[in-house]
Amino acid sequence: MHISEGYLSASVLISGGALAAAGTAIGLKRLDYDQIAQAGILASAFFVASLVHVPIGPANVHLIMNGLLGLLLGWAAFPVILAALLLQAVFFQYGGITTLGVNTVIMAAPAVAVYFLFGRWIGRPGWVGMAAAFCGGAGAIVLAAIVMAASLFFTDEQFLSLAVTAVAIHVPILIIEGVITLFCVGFLKKVKPELLPHAFADKQTSRGVA
């Protein structure tokens, strides 16, 4: 879901850069020391998942895993995704430096959104937690495709058909991402439940009480 250089207008690039900078600043401020190792692992997973992609015009279709990353990290998804995208742009020329801000917003803003929408529910037992995990993974792809389409549309209205196509071709991806996120969250519940956002919040609360 990278947008390559040379397609977006200056106003969209500047707006994307400003939003990415703001999100990254908030993410770094809220990144707890105990989350650093977790953030590094998730950044690596995001980096690898995004390497296998199929170019479609100025964009690319590939696994993203931003939903899982957002569910587990919240605002910290911004600096993690920014770092991964920067490495991809430098070493593999995916996306680009000038589009780094926009691409970060495309993937990180939906990640933060699903954290607030579904993060509190993924630790619940039974179908509620499973549904929340699936919706978090799938919802992040839907939102990312919409933001990408909006970036193209606001650059040039002639990109409307391309923007609609970009959203449509991500339908299979959102189902796959939803299923993968569901299984990953289910696995974490069994082996490392403290990594789930509700457990981390409880840990911070207990520290404050102590």
- 4 lies in some domain: no
Domain count, the chain: 1
pLDDT bucket at 170, cuts 50 / 70 / 90: confident
* DSSP letters for 130-172: HHHHHHHHHHHHHHHHHHHHHHHHHH-GGGHHHHHHHHHTTHH
- 124 lies in some domain: yes
- 3 lies in some domain: no
Mean pLDDT of 167-190: 85
- 127 lies in some domain: yes
Domain ranges, residue 196: 10-209
Tokens at 79, concatenated: 């600096």
Residue 207: pLDDT over 90: no
- 135 lies in some domain: yes
CATH of the domain at 36: 1.10.1760.20
Q: What is the pLDDT of residues 15-62, one digit of tens each?
A: 999 999 999 999 999 888 777 878 888 888 777 777 666 555 555 567
